């Protein structure tokens, strides 16, 4: 757990900060600069550490505890300006490092500042939206990395607690504003005839996309993992006339040189020198399993953590109501229904914000933005029990039993029973529900949680933990869908969401835009929704939701933007609604066009 007092895991903070003073003392004794190995050796002598103490490992990866903690403490000292980090392979005291008296209070403060900086860097560079509509939330990413041809630089990376890239002739990468500029610089410096597109892309990602906290998997060949590390710093450039590997980031490594080789049936690593593997869920799961064996060492450290974690952003009921355009009564009903039934379905017209709402509802109940406790899938006609729970999948050598996303999610929740977990299913009524859920129809009932049943593909009893909550979503305006399974109706609470034009949140958003055209369009849509609700062939489930009109700013809410919204989003929807009554479409389309003139 993270403490509110300082935002740092207590045990991890203590285990890393205790090495800061010994590092500084060792460097002073060694004349102000030394190699990492010399510093570690001097610390061991100064503190009379036994070989048994120095050889302690932790986790499945057998990471050397002493080496990792000293490397992390050194990174924090570089961040604080006490050690010069400009020369690779050498730890050198700065003037501040020579004069400072390192106390526990100063060390703790330094770690807090580094945690805060790393979190800010991650948040600043994470700008893409995910499937749940989240934007700007820091997310840990996973990368495979090749330390030179044939992993020739691996030992140097390991000893120096860095990851390195070559092509130093082009200078610091921060001077380039685009991938194309890096590509041109490479061609000029190395006189290549062909465009180095892949190399330029890797260097661009290295300086602009990787963030502190990301996981780096060092590989040799297509299957061999030689190390796993967590990024500790921003991009660094070393000036050197003798070595081309001048681009670096500080990384806390776990050495796995002889530990793990992917089997023939497992996915292979790409041959690129840097490749993001975050979307490869099987591979990420394997990496996390390697790092976490669920045990503690003698100091109580979390063995799956190689660095100090930053606190999760808080998320409250008020935050939800500010972001999601529903009224307080609707929110309270959602929370109460989920607590009582454990399974709810958010249903409503297009654009009422079902997907946008789902994850934020979970966050608001948890009180923090913990994406590790939220999972999302989307059902469709080909989605199966094997995808959802478990089943046999073809491999290079035959068939292998693979566990599905819901099974894995329940197993994560099972070992964390004091905290709620939320499983979100988009388009829940598009799947063949009997085929997908199977025996889960019984187990998902609120009073059957904890009851165990035999799984069809495995010699195993399975139950849905009591701390797992399911949030489904369905679009009430989809004509192609059959009536939802009555068995599902009995197990879920169905909550219909209204367009949020009348909520305080949307009204504040509308007033902030300060646009008469926008106000006129919203008024026209309100009238249009009344006509849709009164139409016997449609009804209120076909009303137009507020999400169509979100995301605008005072600079973008102009006639061109609103015209595009009307012509290419709203009118096509009306043509579908009244496909056999074109006169109604023309009448309502003219009203929308007139509203924004």
Q: What six digits make up the tokens of 217?
A: 């998997």
Rounded to an integer, what distance in angstroms lies between the CA atom of residue 111 and that of residue 17?
8
pLDDT per residue over 389-441, tens digit each? 988 887 667 787 888 899 989 988 888 888 999 999 998 888 888 888 888 88
Q: How confident is the model over 545-589, as pLDDT tens digits?
A: 898 998 899 988 988 999 999 999 999 999 989 988 999 999 999
pLDDT given at position 482: 47
The rounded percent of the chain whose pLDDT value lies above 90 is 28
pLDDT given at position 58: 61
Residue 6: the pLDDT is 40
The residues, ordered by sequence, that sit 6+ positions from 444 with a Cβ below 8 Å of its Cβ are 342, 343, 437, 464, 470, 491
* Exposed / middle / buried, residue 249 (Cβ in 10 Å: 0-12, 13-18, 19+): buried
DSSP state of 375: E
Residue pointed to by tokens 């590390």:
229
CA 478, CA 356: separation in Å to the nearest integer? Answer: 19
Least confident of 131-135, 153-157, 175-179, 338-342: 131-135
Q: Is the pLDDT of residue 297 over 90?
A: no
Shortest CA distance to 407 belongs to which of 458, 474, 341? 458
C-alpha distances in angstroms, 486 versus 423, 429, 435?
21, 11, 14
The answer to whether the CB of 464 falls within 8 A of the CB of 510 is no
Q: What is the pLDDT of residue 15?
A: 58
Mean pLDDT of the chain: 81
Structure-token pair, residue 401 = 């039993």
Is the pLDDT at 494 greater than 50? The verdict is yes
Q: Would the pLDDT of 444 be above 50? A: yes
211 — phi, psi (to 5°)? -125, 155
Give the pLDDT score at 302.
37
> Which domains, from first to last, does the chain contain?
10-125 (1.10.10), 142-291 (3.10.590), 317-497 (3.40.50.300), 501-595 (no CATH)
Per-residue model confidence (pLDDT) at position 55:
82
Contact of 434 with 388, CB cutoff 8 Å: no
Query: Whole-prediction pTM value?
Result: 0.63
Bridge partners, residue 432, by sequence: none
Q: Interior CA angle at 96 toward 94 and 100, to 5°?
A: 125
Residues in the chain: 597
Give the whole-angstrom CA distance, residue 486 versus residue 193.
Answer: 66
Q: What is the CA radius of gyration of the chain?
A: 28
The model's pLDDT over 199-239, given as tens digits with 9 standing for 90+, comes to: 999 999 998 888 888 889 998 877 788 888 888 878 888 76
Alpha-carbon gap, residue 502 to 523, rounded angstroms: 11
């Amino acid at each position: 757990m993270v403490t509110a007092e300082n935002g740092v895991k207590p045990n991890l903070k203590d285990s890393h900060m205790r090495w800061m003073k010994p590092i500084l003392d060792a460097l002073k004794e060694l004349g102000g600069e030394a190699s990492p190995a010399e510093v570690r050796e001097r610390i061991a002598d100064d503190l009379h550490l036994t070989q048994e103490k120095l050889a302690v490992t932790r986790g499945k990866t057998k990471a050397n505890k002493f080496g990792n903690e000293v490397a992390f403490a050194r990174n924090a000292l570089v961040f604080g300006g006490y050690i010069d980090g400009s020369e690779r392979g050498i730890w050198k005291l700065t003037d501040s490092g020579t004069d400072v008296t390192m106390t526990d209070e100063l060390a703790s403060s330094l770690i807090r500042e580094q945690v805060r900086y790393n979190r800010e860097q991650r948040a600043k560079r994470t700008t893409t939206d995910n499937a749940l509509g989240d934007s700007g939330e820091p997310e840990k990413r996973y990368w495979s990395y090749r330390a030179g041809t044939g992993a020739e630089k691996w030992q140097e990376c390991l000893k120096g607690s860095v990851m390195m890239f070559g092509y130093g002739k082009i200078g610091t990468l921060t001077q380039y504003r685009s991938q194309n500029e890096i590509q041109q610089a490479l061609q000029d410096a190395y006189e290549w005839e062909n465009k180095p597109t892949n190399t330029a892309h890797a260097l661009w990602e290295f300086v602009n996309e990787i963030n502190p906290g990301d996981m780096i998997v060092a590989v040799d060949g297509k299957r061999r993992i030689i190390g796993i590390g967590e990024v500790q710093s921003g991009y660094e450039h070393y000036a050197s006339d003798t070595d081309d590997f001048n681009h670096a980031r500080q990384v806390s490594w776990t050495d796995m040189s002889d530990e793990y080789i992917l089997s023939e049936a497992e996915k292979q690593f790409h041959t690129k020198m840097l490749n993001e593997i975050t979307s490869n869920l099987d591979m990420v799961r394997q990496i996390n399993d390697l790092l976490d064996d669920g045990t503690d060492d003698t100091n109580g450290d979390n063995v799956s953590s190689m660095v100090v974690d930053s606190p999760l952003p808080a998320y409250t009921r008020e935050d939800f109501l500010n972001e999601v355009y529903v009224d307080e009564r609707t929110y309270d009903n959602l929370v109460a229904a989920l607590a009582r039934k454990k399974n709810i379905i958010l249903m409503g017209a297009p654009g009422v914000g079902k997907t946008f709402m789902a994850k934020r509802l979970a966050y608001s109940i948890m009180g923090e933005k913990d994406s590790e406790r939220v999972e999302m899938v989307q059902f469709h006609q080909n989605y199966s029990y094997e995808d959802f729970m478990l089943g046999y999948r073809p491999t290079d050598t035959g068939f292998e039993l693979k566990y599905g996303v819901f099974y894995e999610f329940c197993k994560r929740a099972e070992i964390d029973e004091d905290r709620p977990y939320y499983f979100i299913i988009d388009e829940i009524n598009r799947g063949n529900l009997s085929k997908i859920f199977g025996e889960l129809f019984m187990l998902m009932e609120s009073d059957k949680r904890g009851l165990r049943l035999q799984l069809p593909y495995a010699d195993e009893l399975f139950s849905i933990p009591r701390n797992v909550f399911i949030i489904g979503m369905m679009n009430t305006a989809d004509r192609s869908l059959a009536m939802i399974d009555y068995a599902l109706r009995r197990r879920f609470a169905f909550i219909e969401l209204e367009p949020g034009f009348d909520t305080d949140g949307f009204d504040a958003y509308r007033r902030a835009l300060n646009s008469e055209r926008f106000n006129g369009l919203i008024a026209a849509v309100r009238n249009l929704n009344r006509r849709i609700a009164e139409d016997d062939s449609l009804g209120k489930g076909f009303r137009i939701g507020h999400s169509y009109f979100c995301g605008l700013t005072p600079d973008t809410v102009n006639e061109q933007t609103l015209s595009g919204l009307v012509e290419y989003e709203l009118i096509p929807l009306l043509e579908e609604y009244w496909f056999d009554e074109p006169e109604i479409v023309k009448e309502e389309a003219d009203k929308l066009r007139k509203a924004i003139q």
